[in-house]
Chains A and B, each alone.
Chain A
């Protein structure tokens, strides 16, 4: 094959690839702000029957929302693995959006026991007690859509949430409610802002290949 022919073949292949690639390569963007609920009251450190009490204060959970693009999307391949850690007697992050099929690991970075469990219908599990150095790190694959509330058997104030979504296009807001969704496909979709189990705002959007939209909720 001559160099000219090789260049032409590359161009054709590039063009075909561009046609075959999913629309997400287009890179539309939605930015905006979600009005967040007020911060919950800070938890009290309870050590009623601890042999030795320690000082300190537990950090309050900052409110946040998850903004995502609803639509029909293929599952991620391979399924991603993410971590949700236990540190300072809190789940970090307190709100974790994932795409369905994602594996979540739950390392314990505290020098005390936790016992992560969930009774939520999309995923019921109990990881028991384990140390920082225990391997493999206990994990769960979340294969059903919905909200999973995480709790700790030992520290009742600990609460975490995993929002299992059918889309790869999601983001968690910052503590002021600001968000930016990038790399979005072109098409007609509904963009949603999830605040809690009872509150989800929705807005239809039409995205072109390079659309930049601003959407505020509510």
Chain B
């Protein structure tokens, strides 16, 4: 019944917003939020997405949601400033007002999430250099991670499921490492933390049907948002990543990603004598494929990740998902995503084997209803089953009303 109330509330809010402002009104606003000067040589445009997000969840909360309550309301305003000076220099800033980078029980705050300057050395060539704080080149979800592009409310499993890896200190033993404590959920890391807006530089180019992107940043894929800003960390732990893409035609995209980085935070405690936090690496290999034609879009990714854990050794996890979205008509779409993650086993020193994480699968089902060209409501239900202590199917629900301007 609670969920029915959430749906009714979202539909009412959508209907009210539709009545309040038409597409034509927002078209005029969009025109006023754009400027150009010097014969259009310099241009800028401010745009945004207002999201009203609600979660009805079981404890411990799923993915990168941080609350002790079974319900969470998370309003978010994302503002994008895009600029261009001539045909070869571009700039981009994203600032957000919300209750934390990941949905949490915090006060609303303004935060600068991304900024980048992109330079195209030669006009007419597909070669670019980007510097700043921006989404990683890894995988294919980054290109569609914002709330308008993502058919779901939440991210795919590899981008949000927290493993037993933690970056603030070294585990004292294997038992210490494998004992995931839900009460300290924020201390743990997923293999890729959302869009991973770390700071650094990237070079990307296209040759025929191939794309190549290389980046060096101040944090690896699993690093947490607090470590992404250059102000907080500097460049004393460079992380390297690359993505090779192949596009046989417009419908298909294939990609291979790799990264190598330190995963512990600077100053991580309890390190074995004679070691540095820089010595313990996260290595990632990813494969992706996507297909789009007419009203169908399909994405799939698989990541194989190794962590060198102090006192434990190298642990491995494989995580992936396949996701499909179909637009039934201009107003309604449906989407389904199947996610899976498994963990390697370690010797417990007594002749036995112990897995360093609970293997799990999760099914996400979502439906979207578009009130207008700029207003869409998403409803999501997720069922997750983990081996071990959470063997029962856990259901979580989310809704999101997005207004783009």
Contact = CB atoms under 8 A, between A and B. Distances in A.
Nearest to A126: B330
Nearest to B370: A119
A52 B206 contact: yes
11 contacts: A43-B34, A44-B34, A44-B82, A49-B135, A52-B204, A54-B126, A118-B373, A124-B331, A126-B329, A126-B330, A128-B327
B137 to A, nearest CB: 7
B343 interface: no
Q: Which of A43, A46, A53 has the most CB of B within 10 A?
A: A53
A48 interface: yes
A50 B373 contact: no
Contact of A197 (B24, B126, B373): B24
Given A46-B80, A126-B330, 5 more contacts: A46-B45, A49-B146, A57-B43, A119-B330, A130-B293
Given A43-B34, A52-B128, A131 B249 contact: yes
- Tell which of B43, B211, B331 has the most Cβ of chain A within 10 Å: B43
Contacts of A113: 250, 292
B168 to A, nearest CB: 30
Q: 7 tightest A-B contacts by CB? A: A55-B120, A128-B294, A53-B128, A42-B40, A126-B330, A41-B34, A128-B295
A42 B143 contact: no
Interface in B41-99: 43-45, 47, 80, 82-84, 86-88, 90, 92, 94
A51 B204 contact: yes
Nearest to A111: B250
B24 A44 contact: no
A51 B120 CA distance: 13
B130 interface: yes
Interface residues of A, number: 38
B394 interface: no
A82 interface: no
B118 interface: yes
A45 B145 contact: no
Given A129-B292, A151-B373, A51 B330 contact: no
A47 interface: yes
A131 B248 CA distance: 13
Interface in A12-65: 40-57, 60
Interface string A102-127: 00000000011100011100001110
B176 to A, nearest CB: 39
Contacts of B145: 49
A83 to B, nearest CB: 19
B294 A130 contact: yes
B40 A47 contact: no
A131 B43 CA distance: 30
A44 B84 CA distance: 6
Interface string A134-172: 000000000000000101000011010000000000000
B404 interface: yes
A129 B327 contact: no
A159 B34 CA distance: 14
Contacts of A43: 34, 43, 45
B18 to A, nearest CB: 10
Interface in B82-129: 82-84, 86-88, 90, 92, 94, 114, 118, 120, 122-128
Interface residues of B, number: 65
Interface in A83-113: 111-113
A60 B31 CA distance: 12
A47 B211 CA distance: 15
Nearest to A49: B143
Contacts of A156: 47, 404
Nearest to A51: B211
B295 to A, nearest CB: 4
A113 B372 CA distance: 22
Nearest to B34: A41
B213 A52 contact: yes
Contacts of A53: 90, 118, 120, 128, 130, 204
Given A119-B372, A125-B330, A126-B295, A42 B80 contact: no
B171 interface: no
Contact of B84 (A45, A60, A111, A130): A45
B45 to A, nearest CB: 4
B44 A44 contact: yes
Contact of A49 (B144, B293, B331, B373): B144
Contacts of A124: 330-331
Contact of A56 (B83, B87, B127, B144): B87
A49 B292 CA distance: 17
A126 B250 contact: no
Contacts of B205: 52
Contact of B82 (A46, A54, A56, A197): A46
B276 interface: no
Contacts of B296: 128
A159 B297 CA distance: 23
A217 B289 CA distance: 55
Interface string B29-42: 00100111000100
A48 B80 contact: yes
B304 to A, nearest CB: 21
B375 to A, nearest CB: 10
Interface in B17-35: 23-24, 27, 31, 34-35
B290 to A, nearest CB: 12
Nearest to B121: A55
A128 B293 CA distance: 7
Interface string A192-206: 000001000000000
